[in-house]
Amino acid sequence: MKVLVVGSGGREHTLVWKLAQSEGVDQVFCAPGNAGTAREPKSQNVALEALDFAGLAEFAQKEAIDLTVIGPEVPLCKGVVDYFQERGLLVFGPNHVGAQIEGSKSWAKEFMVQAKIPTALSHTFTDFESAKNYVQDRLAHVGKLVIKADGLAAGKGVVIAQDLAQALAALDSMFKGLFGSAGSVVVIEEFLEGQEASVLALCDGKTIVPLWAAQDHKTIGEGDQGPNTGGMGAYCPAPVVTAKTLAFTQKEILDRALAEFQRRGIDYRGILYAGLMVHPDETVSVVEFNCRFGDPETQVVLPLLANSLEQVLMATAKGELQSVPLQWHPGAAVCVVMAAGGYPGPYCQGKVITGLDNQVPETLVFHAGTEEQDGRILTKGGRVLGVTAIAPTLQEAVDRAYQRCSFIQFEDAYYRMDIAHRVLKS
C-alpha cells in the first residue's frame, strides 16, 4: 500500500519511519517533509505544503494513495479531512468540527463542561478591560491563574501568571496580537496542582483506545523554568499514569469525550490527545485536548508500539479499531529535543549540522526543522532534531539519548540536560 504523510516536523518523521518499517507498506510520501523524511527507506518527499488541500488531494488521487495521515493541527482545524472525504479519499484525522477540540479552547471548555469531563474552572473574554477586572479579583483569592490564547499558537499561547503584573502583561500581549487572531479571545483558568502527562488515544467514532502515556517537558529551561515551547523532550511510559489513573482517564475522560462527540453528531476519527493533570490522589483533570499526534510524544510512543502502524491507522480511519488489539515492546523511550539558539524567541537558520552519522545502539534521530542543500543538512526551524533512545530502563534510555546528542553539533545548539528528571528523582 501507499501512504501520504502531511507535515514537516519531528512527529511526521517519526510517522514516516514507523510506516516504512512495515512489510505492508510499499511507499511513503511526505509533504513537504524534511531532510530526515527524505532519507528514510521507501520514503519520498513531495513539494506540497500542508495547507495546499487541492494539491495534496490531486496528488493522492494521481498516485492512488491508500491512506493519508495528517500530522499538524492547522490543516486539521482548517478542514483538510473534510476536503479529502468529499473526494472519496481515506484519511486519518478528525474533520473540521471535531478538530475544534484543539482549534478553540473556549469551544473545548464548553465541550468538557457538557460532557462532565473534569477540568479547571474557566472564563472566556473578548476584551482587555473585562479580563483585567477578572484577574484583579481572582488573584486576590488564588495564587496563580492560567491565561490562554483561544486559538492555535504552536504550544506557546499559555502563560501561568503568578502575580497581577505577569497576568496583565500576558493579557496585553495577547489582545494586542502577539498570536494574531488566536489571541482575540482569551481563556482564563484556575491553576491545577499535580503532574502533567499526555495520553494519546485512537478514536474511530465508535471506540476510543489509549496509547501508552508519555510526559512532555514544555518549558525551555531546565527545572521546568522559562517560557513554554512546543516541547523540549519526552519519555514513555510515564509512571505518573498508574493503572488506577489510566482507568479513571478511560472512564471519566475518554469515554465521556467519545459520548459527547456522538451526542453532537461528530464522527471523530483520528487521535484525541488528552493533556492531563494527575493529582496526588491519582484522579485526573484535563488541561487541554489536541486533535493530532503530540510532538515530541510521538517520538517516544511509536518506537514502543509493536503493531504495524498502517494497520492501526487504517482501522481507525475505517471505523474498525476494535479489530486491532494494541501490542507493545517492553522498556522505555526518551526523546531529547535539540533546538536552535534563541528558541522559542527569534533564532537563526541555515546552520550546518554535523555528527548525525555517529551511532549509539538503540538510538534514532528524528528531524524536525531541517533541510538538505548540496549534500549538507542545515537547520530550518526552532526545534531542529529529536534524539530518541530505547532501552530496558528509563535511566539507560536517558544515558543513550544524551550520548547521541553529544555527537551532534550545529552553531548555538541548545537542549535541556534534565529530560525525565521528575521520575528519575522519585
56 domain-assigned: yes
Q: Could you tell me if 11 and 78 lie in one domain?
A: yes
- What is the arrangement of strands in the sheet containing 233-236, beginning at the earlier edge strand? 215-216, 233-236, 332-339, 383-391, 363-367
- In the numeric block, which cell numbers belong to residue 270? 483520528
The residues with which 219 forms a beta bridge, in sequence order, are 228
DSSP-based helix, strand, coil % in the chain, nearest 5: 30, 30, 40
Q: Could you tell me if 210 and 149 lie in one domain?
A: no
189 domain-assigned: no
Tens-digit pLDDT string for the chain (426 aa): 999 999 999 999 999 999 999 999 999 999 999 999 999 999 999 999 999 999 999 999 999 999 999 999 999 999 999 999 999 999 999 999 999 999 999 999 999 999 999 999 999 999 999 999 999 999 888 889 999 999 998 777 888 899 999 999 999 999 999 889 888 999 999 999 899 999 999 999 999 999 999 999 999 999 999 988 999 999 999 999 999 999 999 999 999 999 999 999 999 999 999 999 999 888 899 999 999 999 999 999 999 999 999 999 999 999 999 999 999 999 999 999 999 999 999 999 999 999 999 999 999 999 999 999 999 999 999 999 999 999 999 999 999 999 999 999 999 999 999 999 989 987
Do 348 and 233 form a contact (C-beta atoms < 8 A)? no
Task: Give the side-chain half-sphere CA count within 13 A for 26.
Answer: 7
Q: Phi and psi at residue 380, in whole multiples of 5°?
A: -155, 60
Q: Domain span at residue 163?
A: 127-184
122 domain-assigned: no
pLDDT at 403: 98
The residues with which 67 forms a beta bridge, in sequence order, are 3
309 domain-assigned: yes
Whole-angstrom distance, CA of residue 73 vs CA of residue 83 = 15
Whole-angstrom distance, CA of residue 62 vs CA of residue 212 = 36
> Which residue, of 323, 343, 372, is where some domain finishes?
323
Q: Could you tell me if 295 and 388 lie in one domain?
A: no
pLDDT at 216: 96
Reduced to 3 states (helix: H, G, I; strand: E, B; else coil), residue 86 is helix
- In the numeric block, which cell numbers belong to residue 289? 485536548
Do 9 and 369 form a contact (C-beta atoms < 8 A)? yes
Reduced to 3 states (helix: H, G, I; strand: E, B; else coil), residue 190 is strand
Residue located via cell numbers 501507499: 2
> Which residue, of 323, 350, 373, is where some domain finishes?
323
Do 115 and 256 form a contact (C-beta atoms < 8 A)? yes
Q: Could you tell me if 305 and 219 lie in one domain?
A: yes
121 domain-assigned: no
Reduced to 3 states (helix: H, G, I; strand: E, B; else coil), residue 41 is coil
390, 394, 386, 384: which is closest to 425 by C-alpha?
A: 394
3-state secondary structure 30-81: EEECCCCHHHCCCEEECCCCCCCHHHHHHHHHHCCCCEEEECCHHHHHCCHH
Q: Could you tell me if 231 and 284 lie in one domain?
A: yes
Residue located via cell numbers 491553576: 191
Whole-angstrom distance, CA of residue 89 vs CA of residue 301 = 27
Strand duo 91-92 + 67-70: pairing = parallel
- In the numeric block, which cell numbers belong to residue 245? 489513573
pLDDT at 313: 98
Q: Could you tell me if 91 and 158 lie in one domain?
A: no
Q: Could you tell me if 359 and 319 lie in one domain?
A: no
pLDDT at 155: 74
